[in-house]
Chain A
């Protein structure tokens, strides 16, 4: 079945460090891929998405490229800020079936120290 695997956290970085959070998926066909972010005490919000192979999603300095050959959607940011401290969730959504359920990773907690 469909699944999403994220690197385990917590990830702790210093401000301005480079960030990579790995995400790989298992799915048939061509799902849409998403990164959601959850700031402390808040609900999830979409960070970026990609809908087909080789697409690059980007937002707020974060990027992720849909790699069909490696079934990956790794999240990267060149220089993190304290305000990026949050939990990051990778997710996929298949375009087959009536409910098109989002399949979630377990989340990766990021703490950025000044």
Chain B
């Protein structure tokens, strides 16, 4: 099966600019996650979708971050305006609905550098 696709692979922007990331999950996976991974740390969940509804966005900085999942498939994550501390790898993951033991399938991530 095709894996989780993310683009772009790398992005460098200046602070206060905006940026968007795209994710295409594994076909049929109802649940989609966006994680932020700062160098040397574990992943931090930003937002979780189930189909096209938000299940958890408690750690999403809503003043600057936004995400949507169109038609319950692809998703975009946007940062506007970016800050230096947003420099990180942004990981998208998907999983099937329902079973807690189902693993998450991750994309290769987008490495964002804010200068």
Chain A residues with CB under 8 Å of chain B are: 31-32, 34, 41-46, 49, 51, 89, 93-95, 98-102, 104-107
Contact = CB atoms under 8 A, between A and B. Distances in A.
Interface of B: 4, 6, 40-43, 45, 48, 55-56, 91, 93, 100-101, 103-109
A93 B100 contact: yes
A31 B4 CA distance: 25
Given A41-B108, A104-B43, A107-B40, 9 more contacts: A34-B103, A42-B108, A43-B4, A44-B106, A46-B103, A46-B104, A49-B101, A99-B48, A106-B42
A44 B48 contact: no
Contacts of A89: 42-43
A8 B103 CA distance: 24
Main SS class of interface, A? loop
A89 B42 CA distance: 7
A32 B101 contact: yes
Contacts of B104: 44, 46, 102
Contacts of A101: 45, 48, 56
B106 A100 contact: no
B42 A99 contact: no
A42 B9 CA distance: 10
Nearest to A100: B100
A45 B101 contact: no
Contacts of A104: 42-43
* Max count, chain A CB within 10 A of own CB: residue among B4, B91, B100, B104: B100
